[in-house]
Amino acid sequence: MQLCGKMRQPVETAEGRRSCPALRIRSVRRRMSGSYRADAARAFAIAVLVCLAVPARAGETPSLATGSFDCLVEPHRTVKLGASVPGLLSQVHVDRGDQVAVGQVVATLESNLEEANAALARAKAGNETQVISTRARAEFLRRKTERNSQLREKSVVSEAALDEVSTDAGMADQVAKEAILNFQVAKLEVKRAEELLRQRTVRSPVRGIVIERVLSGGEYRHDTNHILTISELDPLNVEVFLPLALYKQTSVGQQVEVLPEAPVGGQHRGRIAVIDRVLDAASGTYGVRIKLPNPNFLIPAGIRCQVRFLTQEVSAVPRR
């Protein structure tokens, strides 16, 4: 017989035996393996975190001014930079960690053929000899036609001779127009050749930091691979997820204070740039993107942070 509780009272089991539930629990605990205990501990820790994540008690309305929220600092955008055309890389001018400006040349492809074609097109576009000569001949035949017309009135030349000169003048005029058109086409060929040559030069579309160099000089760049990866770090995007109860308390343009974790630290001012219009019902949250100025690249991307929402300002743009 087993005695249970303070009164040490026995408990009758279904099989007719008397046992104590507390003693059974202790015996089961003793039989639990280490893995089961670890799982139970993890489940308990998750339950504690869920309880701590609740911003307010039931019936209370949470407020942005009550504290700070976890956030993540990310690049404004990341560009996998390639080239307009495939080809053999002549040189990559930057490396990982280098700062680049908008329009800076970061790589060049072999372009000897394109340079030669551009030079040939410029030479053709600069030659006006044919235009000048055809215009001069057309003008000469026009004057000749006028003289023969006057002579024809005096019956000095025949009608056939006047017709021949007049026809030559008309044909010369058409040749002059064709020469002018060819000259204009030559100028367009220069633009085409220069554009093909320009495609052999790769320029950065953003101001940022090179975070990866995939190819080097001497390697062939295909249509499917890129040369560099550049992250734009000014401004930075700060992503934060807030409880749905705070949805009406946030608005585009609202000022916030971002506190990056160590070793960066400090307090930095930003503004709300985007508020998600599609909410996450499963987690009961919605996303907010904050634009954080970073002109000197002092704040790195990919770092955790805390964000505090400041008092709503008049300059804030309300959500429509």
Three-class secondary structure of residue 247 per DSSP: helix
Strands (E), the chain: 69-81, 87-92, 99-100, 105-109, 201-203, 208-213, 220-221, 228-243, 255-260, 268-275, 285-292, 304-309
Q: With a threshold of 0.95, does the pTM exceed it?
A: no
Can you tell me the distance from the alpha carbon of 145 to that of 153, in angstroms, rounded to the nearest whole number?
12
Under the banding of pLDDT at 50, 70 and 90, the label for residue 40 is low
Tokens of 48: 């504690």
The phi-psi region of residue 155 (left if phi > 0; otherwise alpha if psi is between -120 and 50; otherwise beta) is left
| 93-111 confidence digits (pLDDT tens) | 999 999 999 999 999 999 9
Contacts 24+ apart (CB under 8 A), 139-142: 140/172, 141/165, 141/168, 141/169, 141/172, 141/173, 142/169, 142/173
| Contact residues for 3 (Cβ-Cβ < 8 A; gap 6+) | 9, 10, 20
Three-class secondary structure of residue 7 per DSSP: coil
Under the banding of pLDDT at 50, 70 and 90, the label for residue 311 is low
Q: Which residues pair with 286 in a beta bridge?
A: 242
Under the banding of pLDDT at 50, 70 and 90, the label for residue 30 is very low
Mean pLDDT for 71-94 is 93
User: In the chain, pLDDT over 90 holds for what percent of residues?
Assistant: 58
Torsion of CA 302, 308, 310, 312, to 10 degrees: 80
| 166-191 confidence digits (pLDDT tens) | 999 999 999 999 999 999 999 999 99
